[in-house]
Amino acid sequence: MSKLNKDARYPVTMTLNGEEVTGHAEPRMLLSDFLTHEIGITSCHVGCEHGVCGACTVIVDGTVMRGCLTLAVQADGTTVETAESLASKDGKLSELQLAFKKHHGLQCGYCTTGILMSLTAYLEENPKPTEEELRDMLSGHLCRCTGYVGIVKAVLDYCENSTE
Amino acid sequence: MADVALGKKFLGQPVERVEDEILLMGKAQYSDHLPTRAGTQHAAILRSPHAHAKIISIDTTRAENIPGVTAVMTGDDVKEMSEAFLIVLRQPINQWALAVEKVRYVGEPVAIVVARNRYIAEDALAEIDVTYEAMKPAVDQEEAILDDAPIVHEAVGSNVVSTRDFTYGDPDDAFAAADKVVKMKIRYPRNSQTPLEGFVVTADYHQGENLYDVASNYQGPFTSHPVMSMALRVKNSQLRMRTPQWSGGGFGIKVQIFPYVVLICLASKKVGKPVKWVEDKLEHLSAAAAAPNRLIKMEAAVKNDGTVTGFRFDQQDDYGAFLRAPMPGPLYRMHGILTGAYDIKNLSVTNRVVMTNKCPSAMVRGFGGPQMYYGIERIMHKVATELGMDPLDVIRKNLVPAGVFPYRAAAGALIDSGDYPGAVERAVKEGALEDLKKRRDEMRAAGKKYGIGYAAIVEPAQSNMGYLSNILPRDERQRNPKGGAVANATVNVDPLGTVSVTADSIPQGQGHMTILSQIVADVLGLTPDQIKVNLDFDTAKDAWSIATGNYSSRFSSATTVACLKAAEKVKAKLARIASQTLNVPADQLEFVDGKIRDPSNPENGINFYRAAGSAHWTPGNLPDEMEPCVRETGSWSPPELESPNEKDQINTSLTYGFVFDFCGIEVDEDTGEVKIDKYVTMHDSGTLLNPLLADGQVHGAFAWAIGCALYEEFVYGDDGSFLTGTFADYLVPTAWEVPEPQIVHMESPSMLTPLGAKGIAEGNCMSTPVCLANAVADALDVEDITLPMTPTRISAMIHGEEKPPNNDKPAVTIPVKGEGNVLRGTGETFVPAEPLEVWNTLLDPKALAAVIPGCHALDLIGDNSYEADVSLGVGPVRGRFKANVGLTEMVEPKKATLSGGLIGPLGASQGSGHVFLEAADDGTKVSYDYAIELTGTVASVGGRLLEGAAKALVKQFFQRLGAQVGGRPVSGGEPWWRNLLRSLGLLK
């Protein structure tokens, strides 16, 4: 990447949830701020802004990343997936999302979208995790509402019964 | 109150939430997503690095000159534009939205920058020069009450700002007649449930109407609405508060947004544009809210059979630097139920409110309950230990018996319903306590440290708005009696017969929309998905009262009842309309499956939407004197919530649930880790409105309680520096640390609410920390247990305090002012030059400037004293500091003492050190020691890294010194952070 001028705004183009979008960002603008305030999506939630809570988790070129620890300009030319991509175009929840609903795996919902993105990538690699493996993976996210019980149940149920 | 003939097709069922779809899709608009109008400015707040200091001067010139900065405001501006916040106590504890004259805690807002965007606003914070004169802080609550303690609010003259004594029954007699008096001193730590979404405020001042239009994820109670409007010098109607449908967690903490609402309102007025502020996590952890830490000296009067006949409480709550409304709530919200789940008639209580130089305390889930029950249930455990009884037998012996409800507790709580002994036995059976006891025996036989703990608590819900009146003298509170708790909800049926609901509960994830849709669906014979519940809130349009909001578990016994009443009014109105067409008396009609019909002749009915529609389309045909449209508001306040009586008794809450927990834990002797082996929690929360959601509340409260018991604490240095400013320092339990508890339910409907429901969201915050502490006490056979029970603390109990590593001991002891966050170190290096050359370099400003890492400029400002402009960073923060360094006790060319300080937007430090020069082979051996005290952001977020960073920095200084003197290029030294990474093994 060529050296960027700190005071200039640069066009950032990405394929976001299957659609090409362009916005402008100063070099220091966080990806989380860019997605929320420049593009206008509502699923990349800023929790701690230091990479611990995981609420801003998105998938960039297939890799799970924290939106708050990534610069928008780093995402130029990439493919970004956020929780808006999980339901079908006509608004039907995915089986994983339905499992969260069934098991009360969310309350305020602030952490949920980030957890869903981590799970999306993780379950592709590990479609049948044990509860211990799953809890280990989930420890990269903080949830203050649910005590994680509904989340764990939802994922295990989904892994057991998914037809997707 | 009579039970209501509800169909209960949906109520009481584990209905999936209507909230979930939009949340799971990521389409919910939280506060930060709400639209703002063009030209909206963004704010950032400069915060105090000192726990206690006079503000000598604030120079905002450089900040104001930054392109994009619209305005900078300080305490002087705020004081001119607003009033100090009204508080409950009649004491001169004045707080404005920004610090005035002095700062009283690390993180206190000192100035606000308003700029085109947040990034520029934060840049400008670094350009505000504040000169402080540091004062000795009052940090520890026990030291703060001593005569010579620094005073947080001079005008009060003492840090103890309120003391109230209460007596119920005859405690002196009970203690005189006791076989045994059991005493205990307990401390409960500062913590908070820290919602993931921070505070958000957008304020738009409308000059033409002198109106502040605010959107914020504020959660009520709206008792603080008049506090805000009075501070802003406007009428309530000129402060329009809007709260969004979606909020990223609250747990009581978002009550404390209100000072920021005022601040952002003033900023908007000043700049003539809307202003938005979003709190970050460091701001949240250091300055938002903390449950007060409490010291309780407790005594129990005990008979030899285990009967407790009296309690004496001496409670001292540490409220930090200010008393923001509704403080000191945690000390009084539980007052009526101070005897917990026990039938104890004799009680004396002393409540003290103490101020310290810490973050102001606040409402946090549990709201006084975790502290109080930590005292009660620890002492019940100790009573058992001292009498050689099983702790559960002591609990059983003293429980409020079955069949006595409603039961008036000594301090005034009117416990509505329950069967405590029955609940305990049910938990014992369903939770298989006998098996757990066997397991303890087996584990102990195998040499493990295993313990069982118990806790029985009463969980109050829906606070009496008069609960704080007890802090006032009787004559004063009688002049202005307060009580009750008003709830409001509105049900609307539009011209096409679709139903919508609004209400005053301001939810933050609990699922209120679902439950209200269940209630209305049952009353009107519809399905929950036919009811559109809108819980965004607007004081300009919605029915509200002072109790409005989301706190103290008020929803399930308050807003639900108002909603039920509104739905019943709608039902009655539609029944009258249908009655005209159907020729059946209105009170005989039933509402089923979208129809209003005659139950004895179901064919004789009309569609719900048609009856509702006629109130809109053909109002002329309505029954006599009936108003058109279908929009009904239900308002409710339970009569049982009276003001405190002559004897200081008060029914602090409307409903009282019962929780009984037991658990088995193993303490790992090597690591000090507390492993939860089994946890059973029994809840009698009256009628469950939705069991799925009820369990969700139990799980959430339980998880936070695990945090309180084992991990979470806001830690302060003795100098008042705040040391837990990130989620890597303030540890929050993850999925790995939180087991699934076994939940046992029992339902004893409340007789005081039409739906029979009580609260369920706070019980485990009160029961679980002390249950786990009792189990650890059982495992280790110890009495004094301090939360959180971290491995360090547990190890110290097993093995004794750990000694600090020897290599950190300085060669020379350097005195420092406080004993807070002090970094000490020693080292030595070799410089290939004569001692005199080294000496001269240290005294040459130009050479020294080249040697100091990150130095931009260095000026000689007096004899051997320098002022420098340096960039330094540690961990996630990096910033520019002004340094003042002086050399004293100079013995050329052998030794010197360096002392001075740094100040910058990221914090402040004071320190000193010695340098010794000694001729060695072809050069000089330089040895040094130092002690540095730190406060502010650097201390809050960099604590884990500071030790290493300081070492690396000092080492780098001397390496560069060697390079400078030895004539080699100074740039030869690597940046200090590379050294640090290398020493941590992260860089090769």
* Residue B241's CATH number: 3.90.1170.50
Q: Which residues of B touch A149 (CB under 8 A)?
A: 695, 699, 738, 740
Q: Which residues of A touch B252 (CB under 8 A)?
A: none
Find the CB nearest B25 among A48, A83, A102.
A83
Nearest residue in chain B measured CA to CA from A36: B33
In a domain, B849, yes or no: yes
Contact B295, B187 (CB under 8 A): yes
What SS3 class is residue B104?
A: coil
Note whether A138 contacts B: Cβ–Cβ < 8 A.
yes
Q: Which residues of A touch B21 (CB under 8 A)?
A: 93, 101
Find the CB nearest A50 among B736, B740, B876.
B876
Within this chain, do residues B612 and B754 fall inside the same structural domain, yes or no? no
- Cα separation, B115 vs B275, in Å, equals 9
- How far B670 CA lies from chain A's nearest CA (Å)? 23
Instruction: Give pLDDT, residue B1.
Output: 34
- Cα separation, B380 vs B366, in Å, equals 20
What SS3 class is residue B802?
A: coil
Who contacts B148 (Cβ-Cβ below 8 Å, separation ≥6)? Answer: none
In a domain, B509, yes or no: yes
Angle ∠(B674,B678,B682) on CA atoms, nearest 5 = 120
Within this chain, do residues B186 and B48 fall inside the same structural domain, yes or no? no
- Cα separation, B558 vs B543, in Å, equals 14
What SS3 class is residue B785?
A: coil
* Best B23, B116, B762 residue to mutate vs chain A (most A CBs within 10 Å): B23
CB contact under 8 A, A146 and B703: yes
Domain end marker among B614, B636, B658? B636
Contact A51, A40 (CB under 8 A): no
- How far B18 CA lies from chain A's nearest CA (Å)? 9
Instruction: Give pLDDT, residue B874.
Output: 67
- pLDDT of B176-207, one tens digit each? 999 999 999 999 999 999 999 999 999 999 99
CB burial readout B733-767, b (16+ within 10 A) else e: bbbebbbebebbbbbbbbebbbbbbbbbbbbbbbb
Nearest Cα neighbor of B501 from B596, B567, B593, B591 is B567
- How far A74 CA lies from chain B's nearest CA (Å)? 18
Q: Which residues of B touch A53 (CB under 8 A)?
A: 196, 727
Q: Above 70 in pLDDT, residue B916?
A: yes
CB contact under 8 A, A144 and B699: no
* Tokens coding B104: 């009283």
Q: Above 70 in pLDDT, residue B984?
A: no
Find the CB nearest A101 among B17, B249, B509.
B17
* Tokens coding B933: 């005290």
Average pLDDT over residues B464-483: 89
Percent of chain B with pLDDT over 90: 79
Instruction: Give pLDDT, residue B958.
Output: 78
CB contact under 8 A, A148 and B735: yes
Q: Above 80 in pLDDT, residue B919?
A: yes
Within this chain, do residues B354 and B441 fall inside the same structural domain, yes or no? yes
CB contact under 8 A, B693 and A134: no
**HSE-up (13 A, CA, CB side) for residue B946:** 21
- Cα separation, B400 vs B396, in Å, equals 9
Nearest Cα neighbor of B131 from B882, B939, B911, B936 is B882
Q: Above 60 in pLDDT, residue B988?
A: no
CATH number assigned to the domain comprising residue B560: 3.30.365.10
Within this chain, do residues B313 and B272 fall inside the same structural domain, yes or no? no
Amino acid in position B566: A
Percent of chain B with pLDDT over 70: 94
Find the CB nearest A112 among B23, B193, B740.
B23
Find the CB nearest B196 among A28, A142, A151.
A142
Which parts of chain A sit beneath pLDDT 70? 1
Q: Above 70 in pLDDT, residue B813?
A: no
Amino acid in position B547: A
**Residue B14 neighbours by CB distance under 10 Å:** 13
The single-letter DSSP state of residue B803 is P
Domain end marker among B605, B636, B667? B636
User: Where in the sequence is the domain holding B242, given as residue range(s)?
Assistant: 34-135+193-287
- pLDDT of B937-950, one tens digit each? 878 877 677 777 77
* Tokens coding B351: 């409540």
- What part of A 82-101 touches B (C-beta under 8 Å)? 82-84, 86-87, 91, 93, 97, 100-101
CB contact under 8 A, B196 and A87: no
For the ranges A83-87, B748-752, B846-850, B903-907, which has the lowest average pLDDT? B903-907
In a domain, B474, yes or no: no
Nearest Cα neighbor of A141 from B700, B732, B728, B734 is B734
CB contact under 8 A, A101 and B21: yes
Nearest Cα neighbor of B290 from B361, B215, B349, B207 is B361
Within this chain, do residues B860 and B969 fall inside the same structural domain, yes or no? yes
For the ranges A1-5, B36-40, B697-701, B918-922, which has the lowest average pLDDT? A1-5
> Mean pLDDT in chain A?
96
Nearest Cα neighbor of A160 from A119, A133, A135, A130 is A130
Which own/partner pairs from B908-912 qualify as long-range (CB within 8 Å, at least 24 positions apart)?
A: B908/B49, B908/B50, B908/B132, B908/B134, B908/B934, B908/B935, B908/B936, B909/B933, B909/B934, B909/B935, B909/B938, B910/B816, B910/B817, B911/B816, B911/B823, B912/B814, B912/B816
Q: Above 50 in pLDDT, residue B2?
A: no
- pLDDT of A30-66, one tens digit each? 999 999 999 999 999 999 999 999 999 999 999 999 9
CB contact under 8 A, B281 and A49: yes
Instruction: Give pLDDT, residue B811.
Output: 43
Q: How many domains does chain B have?
A: 4
* Tokens coding B524: 């009107």
In a domain, B541, yes or no: no
Within this chain, do residues B443 and B412 fall inside the same structural domain, yes or no? yes
Contact B290, B191 (CB under 8 A): yes
Nearest residue in chain A measured CA to CA from B29: A42
Within this chain, do residues B179 and B199 fall inside the same structural domain, yes or no? no
> Mean pLDDT in chain B?
92
Q: Which residues of A touch B246 (CB under 8 A)?
A: 108-109
Note whether A76 contacts B: Cβ–Cβ < 8 A.
no
* Tokens coding B735: 């999925």
**How many interchain CB pairs under 8 A, A with B?**
178
Beta bridge partners of B897: B888, B914
Instruction: Give pLDDT, residue B4.
Output: 43
The DSSP H or E segment spanning B502 is strand B499-503
Note whether A118 contacts B: Cβ–Cβ < 8 A.
no
Nearest Cα neighbor of B99 from B136, B135, B61, B52 is B52
Note whether A39 contacts B: Cβ–Cβ < 8 A.
no
Strand order in the sheet with B653-667: B449-463, B653-667, B674-684, B742-746
Within this chain, do residues B62 and B122 fall inside the same structural domain, yes or no? yes
Q: Which residues of B touch A82 (CB under 8 A)?
A: 26
* Tokens coding B178: 């006791």
- How far B280 CA lies from chain A's nearest CA (Å)? 7
CB contact under 8 A, B197 and A135: no
- pLDDT of B492-501, one tens digit each? 999 999 999 9
Give the model's confidence band at B812: pLDDT under 50 very low, under 70 low, under 90 confident, else very high. very low
Nearest Cα neighbor of B493 from B627, B635, B616, B622 is B616
Find the CB nearest A50 among B27, B726, B734.
B726
Who contacts B28 (Cβ-Cβ below 8 Å, separation ≥6)? Answer: A42, A109, B22, B245, B246
Average pLDDT over residues B623-651: 95
Q: Which residues of A touch B768 (CB under 8 A)?
A: none
- Cα separation, B85 vs B519, in Å, equals 39
Alpha carbon B884 to its chain centroid, in Å, reads 38
Note whether A47 contacts B: Cβ–Cβ < 8 A.
yes
- How far B19 CA lies from chain A's nearest CA (Å)? 9
Contact B95, B228 (CB under 8 A): no
| Total residues found in chain B within this entry | 988
Map tokens 């929360």 to a residue. Answer: B685
In a domain, B116, yes or no: yes
The single-letter DSSP state of residue B15 is P
Instruction: Give pLDDT, residue B825.
Output: 79
Within this chain, do residues B171 and B210 fall inside the same structural domain, yes or no? no
In a domain, B616, yes or no: yes
Instruction: Give pLDDT, residue B900.
Output: 84
Within this chain, do residues B422 and B456 fall inside the same structural domain, yes or no? yes
* Tokens coding B70: 């619209």
Walk me through the domains of chain A, giving residue ranges and CATH numbers.
10-85 (3.10.20.30), 95-161 (1.10.150.120)
Strand order in the sheet with B499-503: B531-534, B499-503, B487-493, B630-636
Within this chain, do residues B527 and B615 fall inside the same structural domain, yes or no? yes
Q: Which residues of A touch B727 (CB under 8 A)?
A: 48, 50, 52-53, 142
Instruction: Give pLDDT, residue B633.
Output: 98
Contact B672, B594 (CB under 8 A): no
Average pLDDT over residues B593-610: 97
- How far B686 CA lies from chain A's nearest CA (Å)? 21
- How far A47 CA lies from chain B's nearest CA (Å)? 5
CB contact under 8 A, B17 and A43: no
Who contacts B339 (Cβ-Cβ below 8 Å, separation ≥6)? Answer: B311, B347, B409, B410, B411
- How far A61 CA lies from chain B's nearest CA (Å)? 20
Within this chain, do residues B560 and B442 fall inside the same structural domain, yes or no? no
CB contact under 8 A, B727 and A142: yes
Which own/partner pairs from A58-62 qualify as long-range (CB within 8 Å, at least 24 positions apart)?
A: A58/A31, A58/A82, A58/A114, A58/A117, A59/A117, A59/A120, A59/A121, A60/A31, A62/A121
Who contacts B143 (Cβ-Cβ below 8 Å, separation ≥6)? Answer: B149
Average pLDDT over residues B396-420: 98
Nearest residue in chain A measured CA to CA from B119: A29
CB burial readout B166-198, b (16+ within 10 A) else e: bbbbbbeebbeebeeebebebbbbbbbbbbbbb
Instruction: Region of B251 please: left (phi>0), alpha (psi -120 to 50) or beta.
Output: left
Contact B539, B222 (CB under 8 A): yes
- Cα separation, B168 vs B412, in Å, equals 9
Q: Above 80 in pLDDT, residue B472?
A: yes
Amino acid in position B365: R
* Best A104, A136, A139, A152 residue to mutate vs chain B (most B CBs within 10 Å): A104
In a domain, B4, yes or no: no
Nearest residue in chain B measured CA to CA from A101: B20
Q: Above 80 in pLDDT, residue B481?
A: yes
Instruction: Give pLDDT, residue B973.
Output: 44
The single-letter DSSP state of residue A91 is S
Q: Which residues of A touch B696 (CB under 8 A)?
A: 104, 107, 145-146, 150
Please provide the DSSP assignment of B315-336 as one string.
Answer: EEEE-TT---TTTTHHHHTTGG
Contact B736, B621 (CB under 8 A): no
In a domain, B859, yes or no: yes
Domain end marker among B609, B636, B663? B636
**Residue B918 neighbours by CB distance under 10 Å:** 14
- pLDDT of B518-547, one tens digit each? 999 999 999 999 999 999 999 999 999 999
CATH number assigned to the domain comprising residue B953: 3.30.530.20
- Cα separation, B765 vs B681, in Å, equals 12
CB contact under 8 A, A141 and B735: yes
- How far A4 CA lies from chain B's nearest CA (Å)? 17
Tally of helices (H runs) and strands (E runs) in chain B: 25, 36
- Cα separation, B934 vs B951, in Å, equals 14
